[in-house]
């Protein structure tokens, strides 16, 4: 097997598994840059998505000022191309993680790049809840906390899993873009060790690994969305 790999994919084989340029290192870096921004960006996106639904006109905490603040923050960050965002917040990244390069430095722009996308996805998912259920809960004396956790988040959990899956897939794409500008991961491998050196086999394998990661995420997300869909129980 190794001899076939060395014969047909010599540049892939030469990178090895470990070391700074190894495939294992690149995969770990991609997963690292996906996991933490998914947690932090997901939390921010959920907070902003909830805020947009709760404070909009007709919401249970309707407040035009705070709705406009949340809406403008989300819109501004969504409007900034990710590559520009990497450079724009570099000083902030330096303050937070102590460096502007590497996988740790990528966590800040990745978080800020993914949270507005997720916030809009959450907003759409929560607005799909039947208003009648919210009105009925309020008439029975439900608190804001009850509405958030027992109506919005519980009723929309399947859809939230679906939009979370879409967001994570988008985030994987952003990690590849971050890697292409020096943050490490499979994107860096594809560009620095593949494209820039005319090693097409390295670019191909790196691309296939990203596709496999995305496919796995989609399969798991679809399964969980179906598993927690109360409507089909």
- Number of C-beta neighbours around residue 228 at 10 A: 15
- Name the band, by pLDDT with cuts 50, 70 and 90, for residue 232: very low
Question: pLDDT of 9-34, one tens digit each?
Answer: 788 888 888 888 899 999 999 999 99
Task: Report the distance separating Cα 50 and Cα 55, nearest Å.
Answer: 8
Give the pTM: 0.90
Q: Is the pLDDT of residue 1 over 70?
A: no
Question: pLDDT of 60-95, one tens digit each?
Answer: 999 999 999 999 999 999 999 988 888 888 888 888
What is the per-residue pLDDT for 158? 93
Q: Exposed, middle or buried by CB within 10 Å (0-12, 13-18, 19+), for 209?
A: middle
Spell out the residues 6+ positions from residue 64 whose beta carbon is closer than 8 angstroms to its own.
Answer: 55, 57
Q: Is the pLDDT of residue 215 over 90?
A: yes
Q: Is the pLDDT of residue 43 over 90?
A: yes
Architecture of domain 23-232: Orthogonal Bundle (1.10)
Structure tokens of 202?
A: 């390295």
Question: pLDDT of 44-66, one tens digit each?
Answer: 999 999 999 999 998 899 999 99
Domain ranges of the chain: 23-232
User: What value does the mean pLDDT take over residues 163-192?
Assistant: 88
Residue 230 DSSP code: G
Conformational region of residue 102, where left means phi above 0, alpha means psi within -120 to 50, and beta covers everything else = left
Of 198 and 6, the structure prediction assigns the larger pLDDT to: 198
Q: Is the pLDDT of residue 5 over 70?
A: no
Q: What is the mean pLDDT of the chain?
A: 89
Q: Is the pLDDT of residue 230 over 90?
A: no
């Amino acid at each position: 097997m190794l001899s076939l790999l060395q014969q047909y994919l010599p540049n892939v084989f030469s990178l090895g598994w470990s070391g700074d340029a190894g495939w294992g290192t690149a995969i770990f870096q991609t997963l690292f840059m996906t996991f933490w921004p998914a947690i932090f960006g997901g939390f921010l996106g959920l907070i902003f998505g909830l805020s947009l639904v709760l404070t909009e006109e007709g919401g249970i905490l309707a407040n035009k000022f705070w709705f406009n603040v949340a809406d403008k923050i989300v819109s501004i960050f969504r409007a900034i191309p990710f590559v520009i965002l990497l450079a724009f917040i570099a000083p902030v990244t330096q303050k937070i993680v102590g460096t502007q390069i590497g996988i740790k430095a990528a966590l800040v722009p990745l978080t800020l790049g993914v949270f507005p996308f997720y916030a809009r996805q959450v907003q759409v998912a929560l607005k799909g809840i039947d208003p009648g259920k919210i009105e009925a809960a309020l008439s029975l004396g439900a608190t804001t906390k009850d509405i958030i956790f027992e109506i919005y988040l519980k009723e929309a959990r399947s859809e939230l899993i679906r939009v979370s899956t879409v967001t994570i897939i988008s985030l994987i794409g952003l990690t590849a873009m971050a890697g292409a500008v020096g943050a490490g991961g499979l994107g860096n491998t594809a560009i620095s060790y593949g494209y820039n050196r005319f090693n097409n086999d390295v670019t191909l394998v790196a691309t296939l690994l990203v596709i496999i990661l995305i496919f796995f995420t989609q399969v798991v997300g679809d399964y969980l969305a179906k598993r927690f869909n109360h409507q089909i129980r």
